[in-house]
Structure 1
Amino acid sequence: MSSREDHDGGTGALSSFVETVTRELRQQIVSGRLAVGTRLTERSIAEEFGFSRVPVREALRILEGEGFVRTRSPRVRVVAGVDDADAGDLFDVRSTVETLTAARAAEHATDEQRAWLHAIVQEGQERLLRGELEALPGLNARLHTAIASAADSPMLLGLVNQIMPKVTWYYTAVVGERALSSWREHAELAAAIVAGDADEARHRMREHVAGTRFAYLDRTLRTASVTATAPVEEDAARSAGPATIDGSHRRDHAVWRVRPAAVPLLRGARGGVLGGARVAVKDLYALRGHAVGAGNPVFLSRAGREDSTAPAVQALVDAGADVVGIAQCDEFAFSIAGVNEHYGVPVNPRAPGHLVGGSSSGPAAAVALGQADLGLGTDTAGSVRVPAAYAGLYGLRTTHGSVDMAGVVPLAPSFDAVGLLTREPELLSRALDVIAPDSASEPITRLLMVPALMRRLPQHVLRVVRETAESLARGIGAELDLVQLTEETARGWYAAFRTVQHAEAWACHGAFVEANPGALAHQAEERFLAGRALDAAQVDAARESVEAARAAVLTWLAPGTALALPATSGPPPRRDTPNDEFGFTRQATLELTFLPSLAGLPALTAPLAEVGTLPLGITLATVPGHDRGLVDLARRAARIQQAAS
């Protein structure tokens, strides 16, 4: 036996050597000193460390198990690339574990630990100002470990220590674009812990983890290096082997919960009118053999596999469409942002760097990316119309109650409706024939605008909306009139709508929210809690106001008449829009989208306008049951636009 092999004598010594080699190689991989693809041979590593091959072989086995090394052939091991399937799982784990450690740290940190957190943050900010980015991943790990130490829980500290090498590896990959924002978030997080505010610390940590997830997904999409992302549910067929969509291997965990693969989740019947159409189904619909996640990993973890498929989905499948995947959505569909702190923000190919909108964010992104032809979503207060507007798609909210909502997770049943998303109106027309075959088709000859609903629009956006409505009216030979509605009345209708929506949302999901504190993102939880705060008298009064408003709106309309509204208060916001600024945008948009929902109208958003180079959708809404008239109008408008161009 060689002298180096003699060094390995004894179990304790061997374990120590294995630990040394594992730790040093891991650090070199995480820091980038060992680049992706670097060949790792037992002989060269053994010579470098002065050990035999025995501890080296064991260290490489450990690192392969951790995902830092992969075997290219029986005799060749190389440094692995960052795996995006692992990334999605890691961010899910971090969102759960580290939000808890942050809250516990706020409750249990000693004065010494608080001072230590402040010192780490200060050093990180100083290194950032000096441009010493290479120091930040290590400081990031120190800060997160210090927070876990302050939580006064050996189990939580052990979990954080276990995932920290991977956290550092992923942070290193995005440190250039995340440095400034991450250390600002670190300062806000440390301030909440120092102040002893557990709820704020939990919120800040969740936002911080989400920010890193978003940056990482952006990076992978920009470099076209995204690998197949592991599904959340246990779907073995989805994790076996690479699959392509239109020749692309890109997968976005923010778009798909169960990704497309070589075999559809549900294969369409042969010979149907939708034959060959690929459908992305929002993660609210029941699919036989799959769980429903509703955009929340805790809800998903407790959901069993469905015994049957929702009727709306089955109708598409019976007409020949293939269900290729289950697409992400905002939590319980209670948002129009298209931001899910657990799974990320989908890319918007029509407006890179901008939000795609929600809550049907996943289906919209899938259709816009060409990964699906048809998106099946839901629309309560704009959840199909907003992403259609932001992504330059056609988005139809069907007449309330016209399409069976059985097998769909509800939000506010008084307003929930099935919705469709497509890139062009012809497929939308065929899909409507399938899910609402009795829809009427009265030609639209009169358009109505409601100035009171557009009071928050910037002047340049308002000008584009008016010019587009006038152009559309001329193109189809329709009258264009104004509806006289006071701003005070419009505000009252909106308040009543939101009251009923919040009350019904709490009735549907309040038990889950109360039983699982912290399971929802902070803002989503706040919306549900607003429903809990309402008393019966408030809700009853609001319902009366909604009924009166619905009756009033229906007096404006007749077959052949349609409202023409901006789908949103402006073009899609940037992904880095500050919360307060987006809050204004969200409010102004909801004051536009609520009216068709309140009145139970079919409403179609079409990509008819632009602000600069960004899309601005126009929504058309008409009397209940006349969805077909809107789709026919969209087809006419598309032909007019094509001829003009």
Structure 2
Amino acid sequence: MHDPLNAFALGGDVYLDGAKTGPLAGLTFAAKDVFDVAGYVTGAGNPDWRRLAEPARHTAWAIGTLLESGARLVGKTHTDELTRGIFGDNSHYGTPDNPRAPGHVPGGSSSGSAAAVAGGLASMALGTDTAGSTRVPASFCGVFGLRPTLGSIPMDGVLSQSNTFDTVGLLADDPDILARMGEALLRKKIKDVRPAQVVVLEDALAASDPAVAAAIEAALPRIKDAVAPIVRGRRVSPVPLADWVEHQNAIQGREAWERFGEWINNSNPRFGFEVADNFLRGSKVSNRTLSAARGFRLRARRWVQEALEGNAVLVLPTTPVTAPPVHSPRSVMWEIRHRIVSLTTIAGMAGCPQISLPLCTAGGLPVGLSLIGPRGSDALLLAAAQRIGKA
């Protein structure tokens, strides 16, 4: 496999031909190395997980569906360890190159999938998204990325860390290809349905770097022309968005520990510092803290639903920053991670679909502009991306 970007995982030489005919015939796709392929080990970005895992008995539903639709699998891609990262800098296997921002991280945890799409190594790619693992690399690498409505695409055969946040993620460099991919995986046709209004989340803009906020502002006329009238002056949250992060981390961390804790206790695996720290924090989340976080999530869902009233979609920066340079200090990256999750948690807490569109740049680096719709409005967001792309 020719891999100039270090996008493909160790043991990722997995090639499967799709059906001879179908809506995706002639297209290629890559899959994050947390999707099972029968007969192959799912490495999940960690050498000890890979060493101890058995070959998969079945192929993940999402991979099988794309193959049945005519697409060809060209390999499995790098991920942060057990999907527990947001920058794509794996301490064991290195960092995939970011084709649109050389010298900067690609974003994670679906790092290799975004790099493969941005670098032209695949027409589209499968990722996963818990706290931004598809949306962040889409933003940093300047490609289209969809986090679907929670539960809308089966997670069968996918290594999951948090069953109340995890979704399959879709990546492509072309909105029409992303829509065709979405039709196959969501099992519904993309119709040209429009929202009544596009609501700018002022608190999300305020939480972003000035250059990122300015880039989003400059792109709003394009959104108005292709999607719907713009509404200003609304905030999604009566409390600071930073408060959301604490509660998402509690739920996600506890669920990840419940998923992997026994294996960690028995295997004593090698982890990068932040991954080990994330698991340690998750192991210490008390039942009382977990209950409070779940209560907060119910309130957060109501706040998002209220913001979406009136047949609206929400617009915000996908990430409040551009991609940090590779090898940035860990202390700096931790602060950036917190800021990123303060935006990605909005759709995550609500279980809503979010699409990141590569419409902007700041300082020459890609900036994703995102649309969030009500639960079940995935097709509406994909249609909006198609109209914006044509505009």
TM range, smaller chain: over 0.9
Instruction: Choose which of 330, 334, 339 in structure 1 pairs with 2:89.
Output: 339
Do the aligned partners of 1:378 and 1:384 also contact (CA within 8 Å) in 2? Answer: yes
How far the C-alpha of 1:307 sits from its partner, in A, is 1.2
Change in 2 beyond 3 A, CA 1:367/1:393:
same
Aligned residue pairs, count: 390
Map of 2:320 onto structure 1: 569
- Please give the alpha-carbon distance, in whole angstroms, between the structure 1 residues aligned to 2:59 and 2:363: 43
Return the structure number with greater relative CO, CA threshold 8 A, min gap 6: 2
The structure with the largest alpha-carbon Rg is 1
- Please give the alpha-carbon distance, in whole angstroms, between the structure 2 residues aligned to 1:364 and 1:605: 12
Map of 2:10 onto structure 1: 257
Change in 2 beyond 3 A, CA 1:440/1:598:
farther
Map of 1:14 onto structure 2: none
Instruction: Choose which of 150, 157, 177 in structure 2 pairs with 1:400.
Output: 150
- Please give the alpha-carbon distance, in whole angstroms, between the structure 2 residues aligned to 1:378 and 1:389: 15
Instruction: Choose which of 504, 521, 529 in structure 1 pairs with 2:280.
Output: 529
- Please give the alpha-carbon distance, in whole angstroms, between the structure 1 residues aligned to 2:203 and 2:364: 27
**TM-score when normalising by structure 1:** 0.58
How far the C-alpha of 1:531 sits from its partner, in A, is 0.8
- Please give the alpha-carbon distance, in whole angstroms, between the structure 1 residues aligned to 2:133 and 2:310: 25
Moved more, 471-480 or 316-325: 471-480
Residue by residue over 1:562-611, the C-alpha shift from the partner in whole angstroms, topping out at 9 and shown as x without a partner, is 11110111221111322222222221111111110110111100101111
How far the C-alpha of 1:323 sits from its partner, in A, is 1.1
- Please give the alpha-carbon distance, in whole angstroms, between the structure 2 residues aligned to 1:521 and 1:369: 27
Structure 1, unaligned stretches of length 5 or more? 1-242, 244-248, 641-645
Change in 2 beyond 3 A, CA 1:518/1:314:
closer
Q: Does 1:480 align with 2:227?
A: no
Q: Does 1:414 align with 2:167?
A: no
- Please give the alpha-carbon distance, in whole angstroms, between the structure 2 residues aligned to 1:346 and 1:394: 18
Secondary structure, counterpart of 2:248 in structure 1:
helix
Q: Does 1:580 align with 2:331?
A: yes
What letter is aligned with 2:43?
G
Map of 1:362 onto structure 2: 112
Secondary structure, counterpart of 1:488 in structure 2:
coil
Q: Does 1:427 align with 2:180?
A: no
Map of 1:624 onto structure 2: 375
Do the aligned partners of 1:559 and 1:623 also contact (CA within 8 Å) in 2? Answer: no
| Pairing 1:172-211 to 2, within 5 Å after superposition | none
How far the C-alpha of 1:613 sits from its partner, in A, is 1.6
Map of 1:324 onto structure 2: 74
- Please give the alpha-carbon distance, in whole angstroms, between the structure 2 residues aligned to 1:587 and 1:623: 25
What letter is aligned with 2:84?
F
What letter is aligned with 2:379?
R
- Please give the alpha-carbon distance, in whole angstroms, between the structure 1 residues aligned to 2:377 and 2:358: 20
Map of 1:513 onto structure 2: 264
Change in 2 beyond 3 A, CA 1:439/1:450:
farther
Structure 2, unaligned stretches of length 5 or more? none
- Please give the alpha-carbon distance, in whole angstroms, between the structure 2 residues aligned to 1:418 and 1:485: 25
How far the C-alpha of 1:253 sits from its partner, in A, is 4.4
| Pairing 1:532-611 to 2, within 5 Å after superposition | 532-558=283-309, 560-611=311-362
- Please give the alpha-carbon distance, in whole angstroms, between the structure 2 residues aligned to 1:477 and 1:300: 47
Residue by residue over 1:37-60, the C-alpha shift from the partner in whole angstroms, topping out at 9 and shown as x without a partner, is xxxxxxxxxxxxxxxxxxxxxxxx
Change in 2 beyond 3 A, CA 1:556/1:488:
closer
Map of 1:223 onto structure 2: none
Do the aligned partners of 2:195 and 2:228 also contact (CA within 8 Å) in 1? Answer: no
Change in 2 beyond 3 A, CA 1:546/1:601:
same
- Please give the alpha-carbon distance, in whole angstroms, between the structure 1 residues aligned to 2:302 and 2:369: 24
- Please give the alpha-carbon distance, in whole angstroms, between the structure 2 residues aligned to 1:522 and 1:439: 44
Moved more, 504-513 or 574-583: 574-583
Do the aligned partners of 2:237 and 2:300 also contact (CA within 8 Å) in 1? Answer: no
- Please give the alpha-carbon distance, in whole angstroms, between the structure 1 residues aligned to 2:46 and 2:370: 30
How far the C-alpha of 1:423 sits from its partner, in A, is 0.6
| Pairing 1:214-233 to 2, within 5 Å after superposition | none
- Please give the alpha-carbon distance, in whole angstroms, between the structure 1 residues aligned to 2:269 and 2:49: 12
Map of 1:282 onto structure 2: 32
Secondary structure, counterpart of 1:549 in structure 2:
helix
Change in 2 beyond 3 A, CA 1:591/1:259:
same
What letter is aligned with 1:523?
E
- Please give the alpha-carbon distance, in whole angstroms, between the structure 2 residues aligned to 1:486 and 1:428: 30
Q: Does 1:496 align with 2:247?
A: yes
Change in 2 beyond 3 A, CA 1:267/1:465:
same
What letter is aligned with 1:453?
A
More strand by share: 2
How far the C-alpha of 1:553 sits from its partner, in A, is 1.1
Change in 2 beyond 3 A, CA 1:618/1:477:
same
- Please give the alpha-carbon distance, in whole angstroms, between the structure 2 residues aligned to 1:354 and 1:489: 29
How far the C-alpha of 1:295 sits from its partner, in A, is 0.7
Do the aligned partners of 2:24 and 2:71 also contact (CA within 8 Å) in 1? Answer: yes
How far the C-alpha of 1:486 sits from its partner, in A, is 5.1
RMSD: 1.8
What letter is aligned with 1:537?
R
Q: Does 1:447 align with 2:198?
A: yes
Do the aligned partners of 2:198 and 2:227 also contact (CA within 8 Å) in 1? Answer: no
How far the C-alpha of 1:550 sits from its partner, in A, is 0.9
What letter is aligned with 1:611?
A
Residue by residue over 1:400-452, the C-alpha shift from the partner in whole angstroms, topping out at 9 and shown as x without a partner, is 00110111111111010111100101111111110102377531331112222
Map of 1:373 onto structure 2: 123
How far the C-alpha of 1:376 sits from its partner, in A, is 0.3
Do the aligned partners of 2:242 and 2:339 also contact (CA within 8 Å) in 1? Answer: no
Do the aligned partners of 1:279 and 1:321 also contact (CA within 8 Å) in 2? Answer: yes
Secondary structure, counterpart of 2:10 in structure 1:
strand
How far the C-alpha of 1:481 sits from its partner, in A, is 2.9
| Pairing 1:129-140 to 2, within 5 Å after superposition | none
Identity %: 33
Change in 2 beyond 3 A, CA 1:486/1:624:
closer
Residue by residue over 1:195-218, the C-alpha shift from the partner in whole angstroms, topping out at 9 and shown as x without a partner, is xxxxxxxxxxxxxxxxxxxxxxxx
- Please give the alpha-carbon distance, in whole angstroms, between the structure 2 residues aligned to 1:581 and 1:601: 30
What letter is aligned with 1:345?
T
Do the aligned partners of 2:117 and 2:125 also contact (CA within 8 Å) in 1? Answer: yes
Residue by residue over 1:536-564, the C-alpha shift from the partner in whole angstroms, topping out at 9 and shown as x without a partner, is 11101111111121122112215842111
Residue by residue over 1:313-351, the C-alpha shift from the partner in whole angstroms, topping out at 9 and shown as x without a partner, is 111010011111111100111111101011000011111
Map of 1:304 onto structure 2: 54
